[in-house]
Amino acid sequence: MILVTGGAGYIGSHTCVELLQAGYKIIVIDNLSNSSEESLKRVQKITGKTFTFIKGDIRDANLLKKTFQQYNITSVIHFAGFKAVGESCAIPLEYYDNNINSTLVLTQVMQAANCKNLVFSSSATVYGNPKELPLTEGMPLSATNPYGRSKLIIEEILRDLPAADTINKAKQPWSIALLRYFNPVGAHKSGLIGEDPSDTPNNLMPFITQTAIGRRDKLAIFGDDYDTRDGTGVRDYIHVVDLALGHVKAVDKLLSVDGISGVRAFNIGTGKGISVLEMVNSFSKTNNVNVPYKIEPRRSGDIAACYADVSRAKNELNWQATRQLDDMVKDSWYWQSQNPHGY
C-alpha cells in the first residue's frame, strides 16, 4: 500500500493513475488547499480502480498515526506542499511552516510506524543559479527563494535520517529517493486530468492554454535579452505522465531487493532545453490556435537556462522521458479545451 500525500494535485493525480495502472494499491491524503477532489474521481474513472481518499492536513499527527495504524503502508510518496516561487517570497513563513513542518510530522509518524521508504517531491530549484549545464545531482546546492530553500532544507533533513540509523543501529534503515523535477507540462491523454491552478498560474503552460482559450488577453513573456538562442529563458520541460512514471520507477526501486541505501537524488527531466518562444510557437503550430503575447522585463530571480543531466535516473531507476514537445503541447491543449474552466 502506497500513501500519496498531496495526491489530488497536478503531479499527484497523474502519479496516482500510473501507480494504480502498475498494480499498486494507494491511499491519498490531501487538504485540497490547491487542488480539487474532482481530480481523484477522474483518476478512478481513468483507471477503473477505487482507492481511499482522506481529506486532511499531514501536519495533523493524529490523523497520520490513525492512517498508519489502519493500513499496511509500505512506502510514501510525499507531494504535499506549497509550490509558487513568487508567492513564497511574499509569505515565506507560511511556506516554511507548510512544507517543512509537514515533512517533519510525516517522517516522525513513518519512523514510529517502521515505514521508512520515501519518495520526496523535490525540485531543480535546489541548484540555485547554476554556473554550468547540464545539471548533475552532485553539483553544489543553493536556493534563490523561500520555496527552493524549503525544498533544500527538507533534503538536508532527510539526509540526517539514514545517518541516525547508523548511530542507532536501526534494523529497518531509511530508503529515500529525492526526485528533483524540472518543468512539468502536459496532461493525461484522456483530457480528464490536467493542470488546474486555483489562482494566477505559476507555470508557463497554464498561461499559454488560458490565453489560447480566451481566459487571458495575452501571455507575458518575461525577458527576451537572455544569452539564449532566441533571447527567452530556456527550461527543461517534461511531460507530467513521464514525471509520474518516474515516481512509479522510484517506488519499484525502493521496494526491490537492491533498493536505495540511505538517500539518493535523481534529476527528473528530459535533458533538453526548450525556450519560452519555442514552447509558444510549437503550441500555436501544433494546435492551430493563436497565442497573443507581449514581451515584458525580466523577473527578479529568473535565470537564463536550466536543464538536466538525467543519466542517473536512466541507469539506476531504469527510467527516461519518452514524450516529445508535440505531445506536451497537444495534451495540454486537449485538457484545457475539454475543461475551459478547470475542474
Distance of CA 188 to the CA centre of its chain: 15
Q: Nearest 5 degrees, angle CA 34-CA 181-CA 89?
A: 55
Distance CA 130, CA 146 (A): 17
CB atoms within 10 A of CB 210: 19
Using the CB atoms, write b or e for 26-35: b if 16+ within 10 Å.
Answer: bbbbbbbebb
Q: Which residues are catalytic?
A: 147
Examine residue 134 and say whether the peptide bond preceding it is cis (omega within 30 degrees of 0).
yes
> Which residues, at least 6 apart from 315, have a Cβ–Cβ distance to it below 8 Å?
none
Buried b (16+ CB within 10 A) or exposed e, 223-245: bbebebeebbbbbbbbbbbbbbb
Picking from 154, 158, 149, 124, the residue whose alpha carbon sits closest to that of residue 139 is 124
Q: What CA–CA distances, in Å, run from 294 to 10, 185, 209, 289?
A: 27, 21, 15, 17
Around Cβ 213, how many Cβ atoms within 10 Å?
A: 15
Residue 290's CB: how many other CB atoms inside 10 A?
A: 9
Label residue 132 exposed, middle or buried (CB < 10 Å: 0-12, 13-18, 19+): exposed
The distance from CA 34 to its chain's CA centroid, rounded to whole angstroms, is 14
CB neighbourhood size of 272 (10 A): 16
Tallying the residues shown for the chain, one arrives at 343
Angle subtended at Cα 193 by Cα 192 and Cα 199, rounded to the nearest 5 degrees: 125
Continuous segment of H or E residues that includes residue 3:
strand 2-5
